[in-house]
Amino acid sequence: MRLRFSAVLLLLAPALHAQDAKATDAAIVKEIQSLRSLPDADRGKQTGAVAMQIRALPAGDRKVALALGLSHLATEGDPGRDNLQAVTTTLATAVNETPVPANKKTGGPAGAYMELAELVRYEGMTAEVADPQFQQAADLLAAQDAAIEKLDFTLKDLKGKKWTLSELRGKIVLVNFWATWCPPCRKELPDLDAIQAHFASQGLVILAIDDEDMAKIGSFYGGKMPSFNILLDPGHKTGELFHVEGIPKTFVFDREGKLAAQSIDMRTQHQFLIMLAKAGLKPQ
């Protein structure tokens, strides 16, 4: 549930209520908002269909906003490669038709170009974008990943035990940022629990990092704690070091401490296993 999605819909609202806003645009927003209510088996196909509807719209800021809003939800789970590529191509088409100004606050690439660069780097999609902001975004992600690979942190779990990332060399470490209020995060938790229990013998360590207070997390689990380790991140300081702007987000480190894989959103159990295989985990 990347936090930026809600912001995108808020930005759309004024345009959608303007006199010249088309009913088609409002209908598409409704379809985007309803994606989470669909069964997993139907969600991917519907995501691809909505992408094609957006691509057929006239060029303009609303088209870019709709394409960006869809892309923020399309990466929750596994919509299928073709459907996710349709989303990526639609967003690339929209920004090629209507280039987006650079981020006023940071001076860096606009969010749409960052999104496209993430889809290419972390989801294996392809995109042809003329604006140099796209390459700037790709370079920024590469630099961030290089910095993340050198990071270290020490956080306490719910029992007060300290966990230091660098002391887990020799283990395969999955770092997952989550929160109890986040629906996609909650959807991941049973899969992470099952994976930790099944692959602990191979030296897998899952660190689930939450910036909420201990009482809220304890209440959420009701005393029945998972097999993975929950770490507390007061003030979201570690999350900021990892450039976590939306959750869930996952990083996988191999036994030498190298960053082997990362996700930009919710993963299915199968997707988690693909990430872990890049760090040397073997199926059983």
Six-digit token pair at 26?
């409002």
- Tell how far CA 162 is from the center of its chain: 27
Residues 160 and 268 placed together within one structural domain of the fold: yes
Give strand pairing partners of 261: 252
Give the count of domains, the chain.
Answer: 2
d(CA 255, CA 257): 5
Q: Is residue 168 part of a domain?
A: yes
Q: Is residue 282 part of a domain?
A: no
Residues 262 and 233 placed together within one structural domain of the fold: yes
* Neighbouring C-alpha atoms within 13 Å toward the C-beta of 216: 11
Looking up residue 171, the CATH number of its domain turns out to be 3.40.30.10
Six-digit token pair at 199?
């692959």
Pairing status of strand 229-232 against strand 204-210? parallel
d(CA 21, CA 279): 48
Pairing status of strand 204-210 against strand 172-177? parallel
Q: Is residue 149 part of a domain?
A: no
Q: Could you read off the pLDDT tens digit of each residue along the chain, which spans 284 residues? A: 555 555 555 555 554 445 455 678 889 999 999 999 999 999 999 999 999 999 999 999 999 999 999 999 999 999 999 999 999 999 999 999 999 999 999 999 999 999 999 999 999 999 999 999 999 999 999 999 999 999 999 999 999 999 999 999 999 999 999 999 999 999 999 999 999 999 999 999 999 999 999 999 999 998 789 999 999 999 999 999 999 999 999 999 999 999 999 999 999 999 999 999 999 999 87
Residues 110 and 130 placed together within one structural domain of the fold: yes
Tokens 């809220």 -> residue: 216
CA distances from 108 to 85, 101, 104, 113, 149 (A): 25, 10, 8, 10, 22
Q: Is residue 133 part of a domain?
A: yes
Domain that holds residue 117: 4-144
Tokens 């909650």 -> residue: 186
Taking every pair of C-alpha atoms in the chain, what is the biggest distance, in angstroms?
62
pTM beyond cutoff 0.85? yes
Six-digit token pair at 133?
């902001």
Residues 45 and 138 placed together within one structural domain of the fold: yes
Residues 107 and 43 placed together within one structural domain of the fold: yes
d(CA 88, CA 83): 9
